[in-house]
Structure 1
Amino acid sequence: MQLFIGGACAGKRDAVTQRFDAPHWHSAHAGCRLEAWRSLTETRCLVLEGWERWIGQRLADEPNDDRLRQAMARELDALRAWEAEQGGQAVLILLEMGRGIVPLGRENRRLRDLNGWLAQDAAARCERVWYVWNGLVKSLTL
């Protein structure tokens, strides 16, 4: 798996498009549900974006942050298993939120915290991590 992380409109999509041939985009912005990626069979490169929306959709249904974090981590593990079984490449695009600014509203704080934990969990599972800012792409992987 590879992770591209950065702020809104920082150039993450362009960076992915430049690095991967014919990726299949699975996006919350296009109305895709997170777990629907499992039904895709004919793709070699799967790009998943809109994680903050997928988290946001689950906030009301799951009041426990630990359980919600574990559910998202299970999706990451399933993507790694898909890569191993199918020989595919999973590419995650995550929005870096907040940059240290704490929102006033409880649900906004939960979203920011869970997104940050997801970023940490994804980075720990990915073989390459890229930080994208102002169209500049930097490898964070040692």
Structure 2
Amino acid sequence: MLCIIGGACSGRRALVAERYPQAVWHRLEPGEPPADWAGRAPSGGVLVITGWAEWLKALLAATADDEAVRSAWRAQLSALDEREREAQGEALLILDEMGCGIVPMAVEARRLRDLNGWLAQEVASRSRAVWQVRHGLCKQLK
């Protein structure tokens, strides 16, 4: 698993398109079950998965139990890990950085930022490489 994280319009997609021109792209739909995207990893290739913030927002709307949300994405990331091994391919997750701005007053918005941060930590811990993109500049963190 690979991870690229950065803010809106930071240059993440352009970087991925340049580095992995043959990659297959998939944008998560809110509420989409893991089986719908984990099986799309191309054999021996790279599957780029985007749309995590909207996907997470829908998951948060479905339950108030944050630990259930975290368990759900752990199971989904484990399914993706397994699919990577089976296909001998690699998933590249493009995540949104939400922790470098003003903390919102709305409880729901703060909850999204918190859980997005925990998701990023979980993905980073599973990834063999992690890059951060800011202002079109890329820095490898792991």
CA distance in 2, matches of 1:8, 1:62: 26
5+ unaligned residues in a row in structure 1: which ranges? none
What SS does structure 2 have at the residue aligned with 1:132? strand
Q: What is the Cα deviation at residue 20 of structure 1?
A: 1.1
The alignment yields a C-alpha RMSD, in angstroms, of 1.9
5+ unaligned residues in a row in structure 2: which ranges? none
Q: Which amino acid aligns with 2:32?
A: R
Task: Name 2:23's counterpart in structure 1.
Answer: 23
Q: Which amino acid aligns with 2:134?
A: W
Q: Which amino acid aligns with 2:56?
A: I
CA distance in 1, matches of 2:41, 2:61: 31
Q: What is the Cα deviation at residue 132 of structure 1?
A: 0.4
**Compared with structure 1, are the counterparts of its residues 137 and 103 closer, same or farther at alpha carbon in structure 2 (3 Å cutoff)?**
same
**Compared with structure 1, are the counterparts of its residues 129 and 41 closer, same or farther at alpha carbon in structure 2 (3 Å cutoff)?**
closer
CA distance in 2, matches of 1:32, 1:20: 27
CA distance in 2, matches of 1:21, 1:6: 20
Task: Name 2:77's counterpart in structure 1.
Answer: 76
Q: Which amino acid aligns with 1:33?
A: E
Q: What is the Cα deviation at residue 27 of structure 1?
A: 0.7
Q: What is the Cα deviation at residue 77 of structure 1?
A: 1.5
Task: Name 1:46's counterpart in structure 2.
Answer: 47
**Compared with structure 1, are the counterparts of its residues 4 and 41 closer, same or farther at alpha carbon in structure 2 (3 Å cutoff)?**
closer
Q: Between Structure 1 and Structure 2, how many residues are aligned?
A: 140
Q: What is the Cα deviation at residue 76 of structure 1?
A: 1.4
What SS does structure 2 have at the residue aligned with 1:60? helix
Task: Name 2:57's counterpart in structure 1.
Answer: 56
Q: What is the Cα deviation at residue 47 of structure 1?
A: 0.6
Q: What is the Cα deviation at residue 33 of structure 1?
A: 2.8
Tell me which moved more, 34-43 or 121-130: 34-43
Contact 2:23 2:46 in 1 (8 A): yes
Task: Name 1:4's counterpart in structure 2.
Answer: 4
What percentage of aligned pairs have identical amino acids?
44
What SS does structure 2 have at the residue aligned with 1:75? helix
Contact 1:28 1:34 in 2 (8 A): no
Task: Name 1:37's counterpart in structure 2.
Answer: 37
TM-score (ref. length: structure 1): 0.90
TM-score (ref. length: structure 2): 0.90
Task: Name 2:125's counterpart in structure 1.
Answer: 124
